[in-house]
């Protein structure tokens, strides 16, 4: 079945863009509008964005949107446990893509340099007063991981649940590199939850996730309303 059919059956809003650049622009406008609504209603907006390579285009567009960044608090949905200066750092990627936003916004880094578990507990204390977040933007790996919640991970069910006590946890990528990740208690309780993917491979992976156990494909836990999916082909 197509992504369109699967999303419609699950009640998920699906936006299909003709190419990655138009998806980046549409997604950045959608996020900017949600941030403005949150600021209008509560005086502040809280945003968590995914790392990896895919988000770069929409983050650059988002940095150009007319958002009152001084009223926005920004963090990441996950982080490789490396300093921002490291090429693998999601924080480094975010700062390269959103220099003007990060110069004005409140920034909550996940990497602190103590240890993955100590850093995760420091993040947990800092992010607890932020909940529920206003906007979460997720990516997905071709194995169906989301944030740094990977297939077959220890305590995965608890880490994915919306009612879990753990808000941020140490994690490990399949290549055993240390990670830190926000959990379902944070990511799946946000007012606006967006999943942005592009390319046929990820389309096929996401379609499989609609009928896969979350243990095998953690993204499956996110495929319920109010999640909105943004998809574009690769070219």
Ligand X SMILES: O=C(O)[C@H](O)[C@@H](O)[C@H](O)[C@H](O)COP(=O)(O)O
Interface ranges with ligand X (CB under 6 A): 50-54, 78, 80, 90, 139-141, 145, 147-148
Distance in Å, CB of 79 to ligand X, minimum? 7
DSSP E strand boundaries for the chain:
13-17, 45-49, 72-76, 78-80, 106-108, 135-138, 168-172, 178-182, 192-198, 228-232
Distance CA 218, CA 222 (A): 8
Nearer to ligand X, 104 or 199 (CB): 199
Distance in Å, CB of 28 to ligand X, minimum? 16
DSSP state of 72: E
Distance CA 229, CA 24 (A): 13
Token output for 217: 């494909």
Phi, psi of 89 (to 5 degrees): -70, 130
Nearer to ligand X, 57 or 166 (CB): 57
Nearer to ligand X, 46 or 80 (CB): 80
Distance CA 208, CA 205 (A): 5
Distance in Å, CB of 53 to ligand X, minimum? 4
Nearer to ligand X, 139 or 178 (CB): 139
Distance in Å, CB of 197 to ligand X, minimum? 8
Nearer to ligand X, 54 or 121 (CB): 54
Distance CA 134, CA 39 (A): 10
Distance in Å, CB of 58 to ligand X, minimum? 11
| CB neighbour list of residue 66: distance below 8 Å, 6 or more residues apart | 32
């Amino acid at each position: 079945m197509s992504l369109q059919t699967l999303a419609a059956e699950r009640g998920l809003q699906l936006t299909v863009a003709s190419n990655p650049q138009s998806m980046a622009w549409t997604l950045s406008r959608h996020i900017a509008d949600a941030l403005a609504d949150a600021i209008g209603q509560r005086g502040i907006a809280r945003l968590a964005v995914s790392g990896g390579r895919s988000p770069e285009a929409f983050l650059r567009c988002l940095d150009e949107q007319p958002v009152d960044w001084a009223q926005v608090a920004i963090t990441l949905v996950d982080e490789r446990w490396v300093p921002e200066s490291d090429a693998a750092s999601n924080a480094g990627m975010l700062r390269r893509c959103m220099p003007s936003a990060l110069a004005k916004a409140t920034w909550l880094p996940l990497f602190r340099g103590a240890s993955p578990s100590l850093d995760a507990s420091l993040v947990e204390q800092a992010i607890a007063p932020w909940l529920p977040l206003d906007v979460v933007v997720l990516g997905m790996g071709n194995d169906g991981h989301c944030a740094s919640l990977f297939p077959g991970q220890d305590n995965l069910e608890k880490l994915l649940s919306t009612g879990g006590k753990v808000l941020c946890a140490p994690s490990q990528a399949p290549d055993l590199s240390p990670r830190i990740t926000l959990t379902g208690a944070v990511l799946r309780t946000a007012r606006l939850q967006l999943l942005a993917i592009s390319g046929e491979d990820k389309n096929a992976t996401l379609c499989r996730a609609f009928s896969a156990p979350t243990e095998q494909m953690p993204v499956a836990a996110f495929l319920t309303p109010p999640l909105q999916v943004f998809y574009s082909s690769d070219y």
